[in-house]
Amino acid sequence: MKLMILNDYDQASEWAAKYIRNKLLQFNPGPGKYFTLGLPTGSTPLGCYKKLIEYYKKGQISFQYVKTFNMDEYVGLPREHPESYHSFMWNNFFKHIDIRAENTNILDGNAADLQAECDAFEDKIKAAGGIQLFVGGIGPDGHIAFNEPGSSLVSRTRVKTLAQDTIIANARFFDGDLCKVPTMALTVGVGTVMDAKEVMILITGAHKAFALYKAIEEGVNHMWTVSAFQQHPQTLFVCDEDATLELSNVSCRPPSINTVLCMQHMNYVHIQPIYSLYKLLCAHTTYINSYVHIQPI
């Protein structure tokens, strides 16, 4: 597992966006060879989406041969409701890029048969050849997608009732009125995300610090479902400083923004996001395995 710590939200978003961009370029998608991306919603990935849109506008990447699979959607909320995840993805991402509508996949919370809709979603992922990179976030209670505490760690896409904590956290999108927040959602399972080739979790803000601590410094536990990724062969956590406040293994913090440290624990790295892999990929000269440039002090 790799944990990347950036100074703040903006830098974390930019780093994550560059990672996705570079993965996409490396994969080199084309007709018949689609790059499959799992996508989250919420406030955490907004900065990352903005950066990806910037790279698209600059002509660095295209989403023409990208297939996306969103993690979840509310049940019973009209699709055109401004808080539906369809609206979120349209307004914050799809409408600004060149992705084709038929390549986007979001669960339909108004389907007549909800479980059949979930099963069909799993089939679509399979038909697309599985997901190359699943990007996700973490809830304050350590959940991934809507896999609330107590969810099976081998679960698949299904209908879930939302936990009280989640409803409270989401109330800010519904005028602060708890009654207006949907109580059920369709969500990919922990097992569904574990099937992805690579998983990247974005975590920013002090309010997520405890969840991050529980997810990576304690055992695998269904009360903190993100902990399941300790058992995934290729997981990457991208956070800002605030999100690491509860971690005990970060033995020292950089005195200034320009210092790059080599830590005792190789996996925890404070890095300065200046290294442009993009330029390298465009030049087709070097192929490197590690995306982190570490300079020992």
DSSP state of 214: H
Q: What's the CA angle centered on 40, arms 36 and 44, to 5 degrees? A: 135
What whole-number distance in Å separates Cα of residue 114 and Cα of residue 72?
Answer: 12
The catalytic residue positions are 72, 141, 143, 148
User: Which window, 7-15, 80-88, 132-140, 268-276, contacts another protein (CB under 8 A)?
Assistant: 80-88
33 lines the binding site for another protein (CB under 8 A) = no
Task: Pick the closer one to another protein by CB: 79 or 156.
Answer: 79
Q: Distance between CA 223 and CA 150 in Å, rounded?
A: 5
Based on the shown chain and the rule CB under 8 A, indicate whether residue 100 belongs to the binding site for another protein.
yes
- Whose tokens are 């950036």? That residue is 6
In the list 32, 58, 59, 80, the residue contacting another protein (rule: CB under 8 A) is 80
Stretch that binds another protein, among 41-49, 79-87, 201-209, 235-243 (CB under 8 A): 79-87
Binding to another protein by CB under 8 A, coded x per residue (else -) over 263-292, reads ------------------------------
Residues that bind another protein (rule: CB under 8 A) add up to a total of 12
- Binding residue for another protein (CB under 8 A) from 86, 143, 208, 222? 86
SS (H, E, C) 54-117: HHHHCCCCCCCCEEEEECEEECCCCCCCCCCHHHHHHHHCHHHCCCCHHHEECCCCCCCCHHHH
* Under 8 Å between Cβ of 64 and 98: yes
As measured in angstroms, the least distance from the Cβ of 81 to another protein is 11
